[in-house]
Amino acid sequence: MELYQSTIHELQDKIKEGKTTATEITCSVLQRIDAVEEKVHSYIRVLKEEALAAATDADKEIKKGNIKPLSGIPVALKDIVCTKGVPTTCGSHILHNFIPPYDATVVEKLRAAGAIFIGKANMDEFAMGSSTETSYFGPTRNPWDLERIPGGSSGGSAAAVAADECIASIGSDTGGSIRQPAALCGIVGMKPTYGRVSRFGLIAFASSLDQIGPFTKDVEDCAIMMNVLAGYDPKESTSVNVENPDYHQFVGRDIQGWKVGIPKEYFVEGIDPEVKAAIEESIKAMEKCGAQSVEISLPHTQYCLAVYYIIAPAEASSNLARYDGVKYGFRAAGGDLLDMYKKTRMQGFGAEVKRRIMIGTYALSAGYYDAYYKKASQVRALIKKDFEEAFKKCDVILTPTTPTPAFKIGEKTDNPLQMYLSDIFTISTNLAGIPGISLPCGFTKSGLPIGVQFLAGHFQEGKLIQVASAYERKAQVEKRRPGL
């Protein structure tokens, strides 16, 4: 096995035993990037020199015996988290040349844990999309089938892990943007509870929905990453000052007697038969673990879409007002102030971003606040209550992550039911603020990954690690590698 194919925990062991070095690992990953990046295009920017320099420093520390949880581990960062002195574009023309003078809190934490930043990963522009096709820098391709999407908006982060172009990565999830690409790329992706991981330095899309989370090759690595990422941040007013357990302790525990909720509103027409079959196998695997599946109801599921498509664009329209060509980023030439604003934003933003800004601006415009945003916020409270009620009856909820495997680049499904379900499975999680994890549960006949999703109550990431780890052990999903 090559170093670049390893997991964090495997490399931690090797480093402790002196069997490898940070530089060796980093070089291995960089070589892998050289070999496949042209095909996959996971990265907007590969940080070759910076990574090698960081690896050299890491090796000095390791030699002194100063080994940290992520010492020598190459990690990719979705280009939505600010990295000091390194361009951060958010996949957009309007920020194509923006160099933040500060680090996001998660970047500071990863750095302090010894991580080697290997590159800024590709993404849908301003995190708006589910295919990474809207990036100003071109699409990322699914390592399992280069004609297909990796999912989005954190497509680059997911593809990089799946293609072994990094050992782990960071993404962001506003309506499923970590979990969906994790499923389509056959890896593990977690969206923590809202407020668990700091949003300071995360370029905002929808402030009340955004969360940062890890992509990893297995559940144990996810626990390791969560230990680094989680934590109260006084720089974020919505950060929650709650105890952070050692997530690693949940790995390897059994789930004897657990109740696994199966929401009836999620198991309806429109799921691809192969996905349906894989999920049914997953439920059986749960039962083999000693858990019991129980039917639950999330009665307001049908309203999730409407709530999301009012709240998210409304917040986004306000968050993106700062991109005006005055202080940073792209500015269109010529004209007076009004021309500058309009041309800058017309030329600087892609079509999908403009669409959502228009929707959001309209939803907040005079006279509509009560009818639209406020109403949606009220229904949102009902959606949250659905989950609170459900978790009285079960420990975790199991759902498919996506209704279909990855579709082809450029081809949007014309099946409205599938479009609906592809949002429903993940959106509700962000609306309620609860944590969710997606992990591989099988492959289609044509070799495309399928993901299963677990959801838990607020601040119950430990439960997610526990059930995902148990599932991973029991289900024994075949470990394949994309044939790049």
Partner 1 sequence: MKLTAQEVEYVAHLARLEITPQEKEKFTAQLNDILLYIDKLNELDTKGVEPMSHAIGVTNAFREDNVVESIGTEKTLANAPDARGEFFRVPKVIE
Partner 2 sequence: MEFDAVIGLEVHAQMLTDTKIFCNCSTKFGAAPNSHTCPVCLGMPGVLPVLNKKVVEYAMKMALATNCNINSTCEFARKNYFYPDLPKGYQISQYAYPLAEHGYVELEVNGGKKKIGITRIHMEEDAGKLLHDEHNPVSYVDLNRTGVPLIEIVSEPDIRSSEEAADYLKRLHEILVYLEICDGNMEEGSFRCDANVSIRPKGQKEFGTRTELKNMNSFRNVQRALEYEIKRQQYIVENGGAIVQETRLWDDAQGATNSMRGKEEAHDYRYFPDPDLVPVIVDAAWIDKIRADMPELPQAKRERFISEYQISAYDAGVLTADKALAQYYEEVVAICAKPKQAANWLMGDVMKFLNEDKKTIRDCPIAAASLAEMINLIDAGTISGKMAKDIAEEMYRSGKKPQQVIAEKGMVQITDEAALAKTISSIIDANPQQLADYRAGKEKLFGYFVGQAMKATQGKANPQIVNDLLKKMLAGK
| DSSP symbols for 261-284 | EEEGGGSSTTS-HHHHHHHHHHHH
Of 96, 328, 332, 352, which one interacts with partner 2 (CB under 8 A)?
A: 328
Alpha-carbon distance of 392 to 395, in angstroms, equals: 8
For residue 38, what are the contacts with CB-CB under 8 A and spacing of at least 6? none
Contacts with partner 2: how many residues (CB under 8 A)?
43
Q: Which residue has the tokens 């940062």?
A: 212
* Both tokens assigned to 375: 């109403």
Residue 268 binding partner 1, by CB under 8 A? no
In this complex, which beta carbon is closest to partner 1, that of residue 53 or of residue 346? 346
Which one among 358, 369, 378, 393 touches partner 2, defined by CB under 8 A?
A: 369
- Residue 232 in contact with partner 2, rule: CB under 8 A: no
Residue at token pair 């072994």: 164
Residue with tokens 């994309």: 482
Instruction: Show contacts with partner 2 in window 265-324 (CB under 8 A).
Output: 314-315, 318, 320-322, 324
248 lines the binding site for partner 1 (CB under 8 A): no
| CA proximity to 281, closest of 424, 476, 421, 445 | 476
> Does residue 293 carry a catalytic annotation?
no
Give me the helix-helix angle, 219-229 and 8-16, nearest 10°: 80
Query: 169 or 317: whose CB is closer to partner 1?
Result: 317
Shortest Cβ 334–partner 1 spacing (Å)? 9
> Is 153 an annotated catalytic residue?
yes
Q: One of 6, 28, 71, 153 is an active-site residue; which one?
A: 153
Contact 344, 331 (CB under 8 A): yes
Stretch that binds partner 2, among 33-41, 204-212, 252-260, 412-420 (CB under 8 A): 204-212
Amino acid type, 39:
K
Among 147-155, 198-206, 241-249, 407-415, the segment contacting partner 2 (CB under 8 A): 198-206
Q: Which of 135, 177, 317, 438 is catalytic?
A: 177
Question: Binding of partner 1 at residue 305 (CB under 8 A)?
Answer: yes
Element (H, E) at 471: helix 461-475
**Scanning residues 357 to 376, which ones bind partner 1 (CB under 8 A)?**
357-359, 361-363, 365, 371-372, 374-376
> Could you give the CA distance from residue 466 to residue 189 in angstroms, rounded to a whole number?
14
- Select the residue interacting with partner 1 from 349, 407, 425, 454 (CB under 8 A): 349
Which is nearer to partner 1, 66 or 97 (by Cβ)? 97
Q: Which of 53, 337, 346, 371 binds partner 2 (CB under 8 A)?
A: 337
Question: Residue 63 gets which letter from DSSP?
Answer: H
Give dist(CA 263, CA 298) in Å, integer.
Answer: 6
* Residue 45 binds partner 1 (CB under 8 A): no
**353 interacts with partner 2 by CB under 8 A:** no
Q: Of partner 1, partner 2, none, which one sits near residue 81, judging by CB under 5 to 8 A according to partner kind?
A: partner 2
Say how far apart CA 51 and CA 77 lie, in whole Å.
Answer: 13
Q: What are phi and psi of 67, to 5 degrees?
A: -105, 125
Least Cβ distance, residue 354 to partner 1 (angstroms): 6
H/E stretch holding 213 reads: strand 211-216
User: From residue 140, how far is each of 147, 252, 291, 389 by CA, in Å?
Assistant: 10, 34, 38, 39
Q: For residue 202, what is the DSSP state?
A: B
Give me the sheet containing 292-296, strands edge to edge: 43-46, 116-121, 74-78, 168-173, 211-216, 188-191, 436-443, 449-455, 396-400, 259-263, 292-296
Three-state DSSP at 80 gives: coil
The amino acid that residue 92 corresponds to is S
Indicate if 317 belongs to the active site. no
What residue ranges bind partner 1 (CB under 8 A)? 97-99, 101-102, 193-195, 208, 234, 237-240, 300, 302-303, 305-307, 309-310, 317, 321, 324-331, 335-343, 345-346, 349, 354-355, 357-359, 361-363, 365, 371-372, 374-382, 384, 432-433, 458
Active site residues: 78, 153, 177
What residue ranges bind partner 2 (CB under 8 A)? 81-82, 88, 90, 95, 98, 100-102, 104, 199-204, 206-208, 234-238, 314-315, 318, 320-322, 324, 326-328, 336-337, 341, 361, 364-366, 369, 373
